[in-house]
Amino acid sequence: MTHPYSGPAEASVTQEVVAHLVLAGEPPVSLPAELRYDRADPCAVRLSVGTMSADPVDWVFARSLLSAGMSRPVGVGDILVIPQRDRPRRWVRIVIRPLTGAAVLDIDAAAVAAFLERTCVVVPPGTEGRHIDLDRLVAELLAGSGGGPGR
């Protein structure tokens, strides 16, 4: 049996979403945002908020964290992901806690699920290690440390 050739899989996934910034005692503020995934960094997703502005704010966190947060609260430290059920809609709440302040963002769960499904086509869960370029990673670590061979 022959199978039709569909060409190489995408190397990255980008999905535009709306992030609703939750403010205490105020109605949520809707902001354009983007979820991004790239085979070159197979364990990470990027959330860019304010994509229409010249200076969007980016956060990088584990794809597995986002995936697990679709069904149960997960995370410690800077990023928490919490499923929200606000009938009739479902949301994914992403709580970002940098050193100063915090941001609470709600994103439609169906949009996040569609994004995650597309990332699984690019790199199936459990196969991330096959896509990590260790030589590049070591070179970046050495360049960032100011060290390197002979220093």
Provide the CATH number for the domain formed by 12-145 in this structure: 2.30.31.20
Alpha-carbon gap, residue 105 to 127, rounded angstroms? 29
* Of 57, 60, 21, 28, nearest in space to 43 by CA: 60
| Domain locations in the chain as residue ranges | 12-145
pLDDT for 3 equals: 33
pTM score > 0.85 for this model?
no
Alpha-carbon gap, residue 123 to 39, rounded angstroms? 7
pLDDT in tens, 80-107: 999 998 767 899 999 999 888 888 999 9
Give yes or no for residue 75 having a pLDDT over 70: yes
